[in-house]
Amino acid sequence: MHEFSIVSNLFEIMEDVAKENNLIRIDKVVLTVGKMRQVVPVAMEMAFEAVTKGTIAENAELELEFLPIQMKCNACGHNFDVEENVYLCPSCDSVQLEMIQGQELIIKHIEGEN
Amino acid sequence: MEITVMKNIFGANAEKADELRDILKEKKVLMVNVIGSPGAGKTTILEKTIESLQKKGFNVAVIEGDVATDRDAVRLQKYEIPITLINTDGACHLEALSIEQSLKGFDLEKLDFIFIENVGNLVCPAEFDIGEQHKVAVISVTEGDDKPAKYPLLIHEASVMLVNKVDLMPYTNFNRDSFMKDVTQLNGTMDIYEMAATSDPEMTDWIGWLESKLKSL
């Protein structure tokens, strides 16, 4: 249940942003989530509902934008998306790879009323 | 109104972890974060590791992360080393803030190694940078050869993997080739050491790895 930790940290930042911008209500939060994070959307929604209950973000919509895992091959320089956990360069078969996308866990934007 | 935020959700934890890493580097202490399933052999490996390092004259401390009990911490008391216990009260992982509290209880000037035994779990502990220099993945052959493929983040994040209980391999359907292929596909630069912590406490290569990482701090 790492989703609960994610949401607790997310909510702290949401509160800060609301204060800075004098929001009286938060309607929507959009997150960018890299696939390597193994975030389960249903678990995120449950945690989000529980944490925001009775706050200015109650009933807010949580939108997750998933980013595929992307690797750069250090042997031939090819960039590719990882599918089905195959971490192998499709153009030269090298395993000398560097992750350039997939570990994101970012609050992109918040929509609310002030 | 729409407010652009673009903030890392674990940003505060990451900053704290970087801060701890700087302090440890300055004090020349190697801190490793040991991650593995319940029953993989984390505590047994720690016992044998502490014995080997003590024989070589190194000073070791342990931070025990445990969901509810002090059993692992009690097991390690016989080595007369500094131990702090963090009960996570059901939480599935440790975070940098609780490690900071534990470090305050140690005299870092007198230490060479700190081992953090994370909560037994392959998912959440891999997510959190807690200020360690290296993550150590412990996987035992009785768990099955599919674990690296199922828990890619841990394999990607760890610098070294300890494959434990290899003495039991003949009694399982563990396929070493397929296991190694998955590990290499996920992390081609991982150091891998096979061991049988209970029946064969010799861990020369793993101890050598720790010493070399301490030296390169």
Cross-chain Cβ contact A106/B152 below 8 Å: no
- For residue B93, give the nearest of A2, A86, A110 by CB distance: A2
Residues of A in contact with B128 (CB under 8 A): 5
Cross-chain Cβ contact A114/B124 below 8 Å: no
Cross-chain Cβ contact B184/A95 below 8 Å: yes
Render B112-153 in DSSP notation, one character per residue. Answer: SEEEEE--S-SSHHHH---S-SEEEEEEEGGG-TTHHHH-HH
pLDDT band, very low/low/confident/very high, at A40 (cuts 50, 70, 90): very high
CATH fold of A2-68+101-113, please?
A: hypothetical protein PF0899 fold (3.30.2320)
| Token digits of residue A68 | 């595929």
Distances (CA, A) of B104 to B16, B33, B114, B153, B156: 14, 17, 13, 30, 30
Residues B193-204 pLDDT 10s: 999 999 987 899
Query: Rounded to a whole number, what is the distance in Å from the CA of B78 to chain A's nearest CA?
Result: 34
pLDDT band, very low/low/confident/very high, at A1 (cuts 50, 70, 90): low
pLDDT band, very low/low/confident/very high, at B89 (cuts 50, 70, 90): confident
Q: Tell me the one-letter amino acid at B217.
A: L
The larger pLDDT score, comparing residue B201 to residue B153, is at B153
Q: Most confidently modeled of A2-11, A85-94, B74-83?
A: B74-83
Cross-chain Cβ contact A107/B9 below 8 Å: yes
Residues A54-81 pLDDT 10s: 999 999 999 999 999 999 999 999 999 9
The answer as to CATH 3.30.1330.10 being correct for domain B11-215 is no
Could you state, in order of their start, the residue ranges of all structural domains in chain B? 11-215
Cross-chain Cβ contact A106/B6 below 8 Å: yes
In residues, how long is chain B? 217
**Angle of helix A2-20 versus helix A41-52 axis, rounded to 10:** 50
Query: Rounded to a whole number, what is the distance in Å from the CA of A32 to chain B's nearest CA?
Result: 9
Residues B3-60 pLDDT 10s: 999 999 999 899 999 999 999 999 999 999 999 999 999 999 999 999 999 999 999 9
SS3 label, residue A95: coil
